[in-house]
Amino acid sequence: MHTTLPTPKDIYMRAIQYVFFTSAILYFGRDILILLSFALLISFVLYPICSWLEKKGASRIVAILVSILLLLIPAVGLVVLAVNQFALFQNEWARIEPKLMESLAQLSQHIITNYSVSQDQQIQWLTQTLNQSSSSLINYLLKVMYSSTFTLTLLILVPVFAVLILYYRHMLVVVSYRLFPKEKKEDVRNILFMTVTAYYNFIKGMAIVYAAVGVLNSIGLLLLGIPNAIFFGFAAAILTFIPYIGIMIGSLLPIAIAWITFNSIWYPIGVVFIFAFVQYLEANVIFPLAVSNRLKINSLATLVVIIAGGLLWGVAGMILFVPFLGITKLIADQHPRMKTLSILLGTDVK
pLDDT tens string 257-299: 787 777 777 888 888 899 888 888 887 778 777 766 566 677 7
- Report DSSP state, residue 290: I
Average pLDDT for residues 205-220, to the nearest whole number?
86
**Which of 169-173, 235-239, 313-317: highest mean pLDDT?**
169-173
- Report DSSP state, residue 285: I
Residue 37 vs residues 70, 124, 174, 191, 234: alpha-carbon distances, Å: 20, 50, 20, 17, 26
CA distance 17 to 1: 29
Q: How many CB atoms lie within 10 A of CB 4?
A: 6
pLDDT, residue 251, reads 79
Which of 311, 207, 221, 230 minimizes the C-alpha distance to 258? 221
Q: Which pTM value belongs to this model? A: 0.64
The mean pLDDT value of the chain amounts to: 76
Average pLDDT for residues 296-306, to the nearest whole number?
79
| Torsion (CA) 169, 308, 202, 287 in degrees, nearest 10 | 180
Task: Look at residue 218 and tell me whether its pLDDT is greater than 70.
Answer: yes
Domains of the chain: which residue ranges? Answer: 41-72+119-167, 184-350
Q: How many CB atoms lie within 10 A of CB 193?
A: 12
The answer to whether the beta carbons of residues 191 and 203 sit under 8 Å apart is no
Amino acid at the residue 133? S
Q: How many CB atoms lie within 10 A of CB 49?
A: 17
Which of 33, 79, 333, 48 minimizes the C-alpha distance to 203? 48
CA distance 211 to 239: 13
pLDDT, residue 110, reads 74
Binned at pLDDT 50, 70 and 90, residue 219 comes out as very high
Which of 309, 329, 333 minimizes the C-alpha distance to 319? 309
